[in-house]
Structure 1
Amino acid sequence: MIRSFFGWERVPFTREIETRHLHRSKRFEECVARMQYMVMTRSIGCVTGEIGCGKSTAVRYLKDQLDPNKYRFIYLSDANLKPRDFYRELLHQFGLPPKFLRSEAKRQFQHLVWDLYENQQKVAVIVADEAHLLSGDMLQEIRFLTNFQMDSISPLALLLIGQPELQATLQLRIFKPITQRMNVRFHLEGLSLQECRDYIAHQLEVAGSTGPVFTTEAMDAIYAHARGISREINNVCTAALLDAVLRKDKMIDTIHVTRILSEFKEQ
């Protein structure tokens, strides 16, 4: 509907956008650079940010940048895993049937990672998303997971991705041994006003637009509502585009945005 009405090649503001077409703001580039550093140094670190600010998108971009001949990427999104299930899930993703006992599965995983590193010259990159929901037991297990050869060398990189509560949790004294092992801790903030304008323009350009669709005032109103959170920007822009299609308007102004935001408040 949107694509055909505006004559574009693709629909903007969707999660399906290819990573090569992503809008890479300064904050996004900083986030990816920190994660790449964690990978290159085979270390543990965490990235936090508000819901919808682009953390998972940055992880997706990181994955696509990694050489599959040098890295094995493992993504975990179930924050309710217990330590035993954690190792079982890791082994399953490596395509290896896990042992029944937790201690055996843990040793099995450690042998697997070492074999990958020493014999296949590959580094395991493990990303634990929604890490702010991890239990205390699971966070403690992560501490032991990274304790290879008494800290002399690590054959893997471990990235914890979560909401701001993760930073607060890690500040607790009980988790100090984990934070001491963390080389990088980064908080991804929302877009600035100008970055929001650039983001909207970039999305439209990638879709195939050859001219402006949102007025500057409309984009500023979207920013005021979304507070720079890219997912919220996507939601409002998509709703505004649909509203424009229904009304057969080629330009979206503050009237469209105000109407859409009032509908959001009623939901």
Structure 2
Amino acid sequence: MFGLPGHARAVAGGDLAASMLHQHNSHREAAARIAWCINNKAIGVVTGEVGADKTVALRGAVASLDPARFTVIYQPNPEVGMRGLYDRIVTSLGGTPKYQSAALAAQASAALAAEVDERGRTPAVVIDESHLLDHHELDAIRMLTNYDMDSTTPFAVLLIGQPTLRKRMKHGVLAALDQRISISYQMPTMDKDETASYIKHHLTIAGRSDPLFSDDAVDLIHLTSRGLPRSVNNIALQSLIAAFADEKSIVDESSTRLAITETHATE
């Protein structure tokens, strides 16, 4: 019989170091594009469905960067508005934010330029949940990137969000921003083999090398989760609990079906 707590935490992912994250194709492609965008001081957009592991891909990309050469400014909550973003930029770069919004915007822009000119580091402004930004805020981000008569940008900007962000970028009022985007990547979901590899990877981290999920259970997890990593995590975890409660030594299809039924009943 397996020990539930350790294996459950492993399948759920926990707070794994970037080097321990599962490297499925979508993750690798997104991380490579994010790293390219930051290295080239470009504007990029990375989108994916809820639970597609967009932030996990970001962690992988950031972990590959030399901290002596790059400064990542991460804004997890765009609902604080542009003032909140300017405030985070200034404080992240060691400044004290000014009170007036117009002065704060200019201060944030100057701080980003100074990070390059005075410290020799490339800043990367990363805004998660960017689909929550309105048109005015998206255009304000474009204005923030205006530098040297609009010919160059001394820092990178990454907008990470759900697929609706890509659709909104095509609106006429945002054409100027859309034209400046160098990278636009929609993260696909995992295929069946990647789902199986994903589950096996996390179990291996927990020290379990022998099969713990039957093939039928893995197939059902993939079908129900649609290959979305977060959903795979949730269903696999509940399947482990169901198998543990029934004193089974392996997670079979019936345990997974029970887990799916209970999970959907609480949604």
TM-score of the superposed pair, with normalisation by structure 1: 0.94
Q: Is the 8 A contact 1:49 1:189 kept in 2?
A: yes
> d(CA) in 2 for partners of 1:4 and 1:262?
23
User: What residue in structure 2 maps to residue 141 of structure 1?
Assistant: 140
What is the CA-CA distance between 1:245 and the residue it aligns to? Answer: 1.9
Equivalent positions of 1:34-73 (< 5 A) are 34-73=33-72
What is the CA-CA distance between 1:126 and the residue it aligns to? Answer: 1.0
**Aligned-partner residue type, residue 74 of structure 2:** Y
Unaligned runs of 5+ in 1: none
What is the CA-CA distance between 1:10 and the residue it aligns to? Answer: 6.3
User: What residue in structure 2 maps to residue 122 of structure 1?
Assistant: 121
User: What residue in structure 1 maps to residue 166 of structure 2?
Assistant: 167
Unaligned runs of 5+ in 2: none
Q: Is the 8 A contact 2:93 2:115 kept in 1?
A: no
SS of aligned partner of 2:78: coil
What is the CA-CA distance between 1:86 and the residue it aligns to? Answer: 2.3
User: What residue in structure 1 maps to residue 10 of structure 2?
Assistant: 11
Q: Is the 8 A contact 1:75 1:127 kept in 2?
A: yes
What is the CA-CA distance between 1:88 and the residue it aligns to? Answer: 1.7
User: What residue in structure 2 maps to residue 186 of structure 1?
Assistant: 185
Q: Is the 8 A contact 1:3 1:10 kept in 2?
A: no
SS of aligned partner of 1:151: coil
Count residues with an aligned counterpart.
Answer: 266
> d(CA) in 2 for partners of 1:229 and 1:103?
42
What is the CA-CA distance between 1:45 and the residue it aligns to? Answer: 1.0
> d(CA) in 2 for partners of 1:174 and 1:9?
47
Q: Is the 8 A contact 1:38 1:44 kept in 2?
A: yes
Identity of aligned residues (%): 28
**Aligned-partner residue type, residue 229 of structure 2:** S
Q: Is the 8 A contact 1:54 1:230 kept in 2?
A: yes
User: What residue in structure 1 maps to residue 29 of structure 2?
Assistant: 30
TM-score of the superposed pair, with normalisation by structure 2: 0.94
Q: Is the 8 A contact 2:212 2:251 kept in 1?
A: yes
> d(CA) in 1 for partners of 2:247 and 2:135?
54
What is the CA-CA distance between 1:8 and the residue it aligns to? Answer: 6.0
